[in-house]
Every structure is written in C-alpha cells, then in structure tokens.
Amino acid sequence: MNTPLRCVVTTVESDAHAWNLIYLQLLLEERGSIVRNLGTCTPVDLVVAALVEERPDLLVVSSVNGHGHHGVRILLRALAARGIDVPCVAGGKLTVSEADDPWVRRDLIQRGCAEVFVGPTAIDRFQAFLDARWRTGVDTARPSVPALPGRQTGALDQTGVVSCTS
Amino acid sequence: MPGHLDRFVASARSRNRLVVQPRMGFGRPEEMREGLRAVAGLGVSAVGTITLDSHTRVGDHTTPLDRLAQGEHLNGYPIVSHPVEVTRELLRDLHGPAFPVQVRHGTAQPQQVFRRLIEVGLDTTEGGPVSYCLPYSRLPLTTAVRAWTESCRYLAGETEEPHIESFGGCLLGQLCPPSLLVAVTLLEGMFFRQHGVRNVSLSYAQGTLGAQDRGALRALRELARRYLGDDGWHVVLYTYMGVFPQTTHGASALIADSARLARQAGCERLIVKTVSESRQIPTVQENLDAVRLAVAAAAETGSATPDGESFQEEVRQEAASLVDHVLALHDDIGRAMVKAFAAGVLDIPYCLHPDNHGRARCVIDDRGALVWASRGNMPLSGSTQPGRAGRVTARELRWMLHHVADSYDRTDGADRPPLPPTTGESHEIIG
C-alpha cells in the first residue's frame, strides 16, 4: 500500500462557496487521501502558511463564484514568489462566463497549474488525473459504496456548483 | 420616510400580488442602472436589487476598480468603491415608492456597506450576523455579531424606516432541515428588532419537497406572530438556492414552482434565480425573463388547501425549541446566538466555519424531504435515520446536492408529482 496522498483543499479569497470544498474533501478522503480543508474565503497568506506547514503532495483550488481565475493567478504568483513548488490544480466556475473556459484553462496552466478542470466533466477528469499520477491502492480495498436512488452518473458535472450568496 | 419596501410590499399584499425580485449585480454603474431600469420597466410588482461583488463582500474595495479599469467583469456592483455621486446618479428617478431598491451583499462586517447605502439614499438591505458569517466568512461569530449590532443601530439611527431581511432561511443554500432555517431567520429578525430595526423580513429557501416547504412556511408565519407580533414583518421565499438545473426547461420549471410555492404558502415576496444560474452570472435579459416567468406562474396560482400538516407541526416544534433554548441563554440575542453555536444548541449541517459545532448532518429521505441524519447537541427530539449515524459519502453528498437539479433536468415536469389542489378562485393570501 502506497503512502496516502496528502492534499490541501482551498478556494480563493473572494469565494464563499463551501459545498464544492466539502464534496472534494469527501471524494479525496474516500480515495485514501489525507485532506486539510481550509474552508471558504481563504486569503493567500493562509494558503501559503498551510502549504509551508503541511508540505502536501497536491494543492486543490476550487472556486465557483466566477472570480477563481483572478484568485488563482494571484495565488500562483504568491507561490512562485515564495519558492513553493507544490503541484497545484484548479477547477470549478472560474470566470463569470463559461465561454471563457478554454482560454482560462490554457492561461492558468501556462502560469503554473498542473491541470485545470472546468466544464461538465471536471470531476471525471480530476479523478482521472489523480489516477494517473497517484495510485493509492485504496479503491480496490475499500468496501463498495451503498446503492443510492437516482442517477449513478458516469459523467459527473461541476464540483457541486452552488450559487447561494445573497 | 422613505421605507419604500415595506409600503410597496403592503400595497402588493392588499392587491393580492406577489412581489418578485431578481438577484442582479453588475460592476459598471451604467450596466447596473440599465439592469435596474429594465426591471422597473417591466410593469409588474418588482423590487430592484443591487447585488454587491464578492471583493466588496470581503472588505476589499480597491480590487474592484482595478479590475474594471482593466476591462474585466465583476460578479456584482462595488458600492463602496464607486463614488457616492456615481451611485446616486445610478439610482436617480429609479429608486422610489414605485420601485424600491434593496442592497444585497453577503458581508459579515457590513459597516462600510451600511454607511454607503445610507449615503446614496437607500434604507433596505439584508443579511444577518449568523447567516452572513458562518456560511460565508472566516471571521469569528463574535466579530460578526458586534459588527451587525453596530450596523443595525447605525441604520436605525440614520434612517426613519429601515428594513433588513434576514438571510437566515438560506444558510448553506441546501441540505438543511427547514426547522433550523426557520429558527435562525426568526432569531436574526429578533436581533434586528433588538437593535432598533423594526421592519424585517424572514426568509426561507425552497427545499426538496413542496409539501415540506408549505408546512415549513406556515410554521414560520405562526412562529413569526408568536415571536415578532402581528406586523412589521413579511416572509420572503428564495427560489432554490442549491445546485440549479442546467436545462432551460428544468430551470424554468423550478423557478415557476417556487412562484407557485410562494403563493400557496402566502409569502409576500419571492427572490428568483435565472435559467442560466448553473452556468454563469445571469444577464439583464435572463433576469427579466425570470421575473416574468415567476409573475406568470404566481398569477395562475391560488393559495393552496393546507397540506403538509405533519411537516408544519414538526417544523413548529423543532424551530420553537431551538429559538426558546437560544433565547434562554442570554437577554442579548447576539450573545445568546454566540453561546448557542459554541454549545451546539444551533449547529449548521456541513458548515466548515470553526465556530460551528459541525456535528449536525442532513440527508434527503425516501419521500424527498430534508431530514436530520445527525442532530448533534441540538435540543431536538426524534430518531436519526436508521443505519446512518450521520456518515455521508462523497457519492451520496453529490447525489443529494444534485437531487433537485437532476429531477428537474430529467423531465419537463410530466412525471413529477402533481401540485396540490388549489382553492382556485379564492386568491386570498394565507396570512
């Protein structure tokens, strides 16, 4: 059994959405990862401090308020300025228009993201990314998930996108 | 004076009209004015909204103007960053008795927002010390309570008939049993009153099952009369605040159902979402379409024959128990709420804030209703769902978060349970 993947889950400072973070924490924990969830509205300094303290294998930034592109750019600059080279992935609804998705993804990868997950298959691609990079061995070992009513979807959509402020 | 919102809502109620309000915010003053003007021009009982951007919500008042200068778009109007005169000009000939404008912001420390909304001539806003702190902020709850105390007193001192709507009926937007939503909005309403703001609205977010929502809304009105008296309050319903349907037909059906629910349960005001909610910040046109859709659905709906009595009874008992236990903790409602969260007497399911106990869990049961999987320390009786012990997997959570969106997207309404019978001609509002 490999060592568990250690992740820090965060969002950007202006984003108050929580469900995406709660969902990602559960998803990662069920894969056998150890997760520190920094919660909503995370200032850059707090993320930096957590990375210095935890030295995780992966930083997961999820944002759904439309300001994620802006926030992730600032975060990447801060990480670079402090010489922190933890792999960083980002995803969710990163600008106010979904038409921006392709160029936003390219832009953030160019600025240092290991991968960016936007659009309807974001979660599937995130899981495939994790599978390709880190095989935890946990998937085969854990008990099967109890059956649930409703759609057992293969094509998961966005990261629990919720628009619930004011 | 002015107190436009309360008079506008009272007038609509006397004419048996539902007041509909979009949730709308744009970064540039000209866009914001255009949006408000379009809503005002619809010729329906609509209230205007200036929704603030999320930089302003966390107290960053320089980034919004920098980003606008670079040609970027914001997700709301930065009312503190734009000069007072600019916003006054934006509101000129729009905000008034026939078209009240409310500021919606999401700010845990709202002093600057309150100061500015008074400076630009407004007196109506929303939020609350709990509802804008625990779900949306990193600030300690004590800090938010102090900030909201100060802000309420300031608003009450500077305006004659201010109005604050509690956002307590939303909390995390989904997966919260109605009794906790009802308790928190009542407590926040009482908190506003205690600090001088007499006119309040109590909120409730559409849930997962119509009968449960109708029961909960009736319980809310009963308890509002008990704790706040017969007047000085109204109820505002929020169209579903969780993951929204992605299809146009699914989103439209959900919006229309929320308008019907508002009518059936006698709500005075409805805040709508739009069909593009799941994808992006809505345009002016999408907001207008949503308002029209809600007005049309409301117009064809009468007040319902009471149903959901067992839900009503359960919500009334649970919410009253929560409110009474909190009020017993301290005469100052703000302090009482701080103590309540510290002890887990109030505990918001799934909320990550360090001041939340974090032991409560909610699930969707076989009926489609929101129920407790774990009550934590809350003074609530009743049994937990068998075999759960409050544990929820990622897949279950995802299924529950998307349950409403998926069921509305799957069908255009044909195989959803029919709406309850309405009294048809009798269009009186259940008060």
pLDDT tens, residue by residue, B166-224: 999 999 999 999 999 999 999 999 999 999 999 999 999 999 999 999 999 999 999 99
For residue B44, is it within any domain?
Answer: yes
- Residue A73 clears pLDDT 70, i.e. is over it: yes
* Partners of residue A42 in chain B, C-beta under 8 Å: 138
For residue B150, is it within any domain?
Answer: yes
Nearest C-alpha neighbor of B27 from the set A21, A14, A2, A106: A14
Interface check A166 vs B, CB under 8 A: yes
For residue B128, is it within any domain?
Answer: yes
Place of tokens 């048809």: B424
Name the minimum distance, in Å, from the CA of A155 to any CA of chain B.
12
Cα angle B77, B83, B85 (rounded to 5 degrees) comes to 105
* Partners of residue B70 in chain A, C-beta under 8 Å: none
Amino acid B388: pLDDT = 53
Q: Mind listing the domains of chain A with CATH numbers?
A: 6-139 (3.40.50.280)
SS3 of chain A: helix, strand, coil, percent, to 5 = 40, 15, 45
Ordered DSSP codes for B103-137: EE---SS-HHHHHHHHHTT--EEEE-TTTTTTTT-
**HSE, side-chain direction, 13 A CA sphere, residue B48:** 30
Domain boundaries, position B169: 4-299
For residue B80, is it within any domain?
Answer: yes
Q: Which tens digit of pLDDT belongs to each residue from B44-80?
A: 999 999 999 989 988 999 999 999 999 999 989 999 9
For residue B138, is it within any domain?
Answer: yes
For residue B142, is it within any domain?
Answer: yes
For residue B381, is it within any domain?
Answer: no
Complex-level ipTM beyond the 0.90 threshold: no
Amino acid B379: pLDDT = 97
Q: Which tens digit of pLDDT belongs to each residue from B345-385?
A: 999 999 999 999 999 999 999 999 999 999 999 999 876 55
Chain-chain contact of B352 with A22 (C-beta, under 8 angstroms) = yes
Task: Please report which residue ranges of B300-332 form alpha helices under DSSP H.
Answer: 309-327
Q: What is the CATH number of the domain that holds B181?
A: 3.20.20.240
Chain-chain contact of A164 with B242 (C-beta, under 8 angstroms) = yes
Interface check A7 vs B, CB under 8 A: no
What part of A 16-75 touches B (C-beta under 8 Å)? 16, 18-19, 21-23, 26-27, 29-30, 37, 39-43, 65-67, 70
Q: Which tens digit of pLDDT belongs to each residue from A133-153?
A: 876 544 433 333 333 333 333
For residue B178, is it within any domain?
Answer: yes
How much is the mean pLDDT over chain B? 92
Give yes or no for a contact between B155 and B162, defined as CB atoms under 8 angstroms apart.
Answer: yes
Domain count, chain B: 1
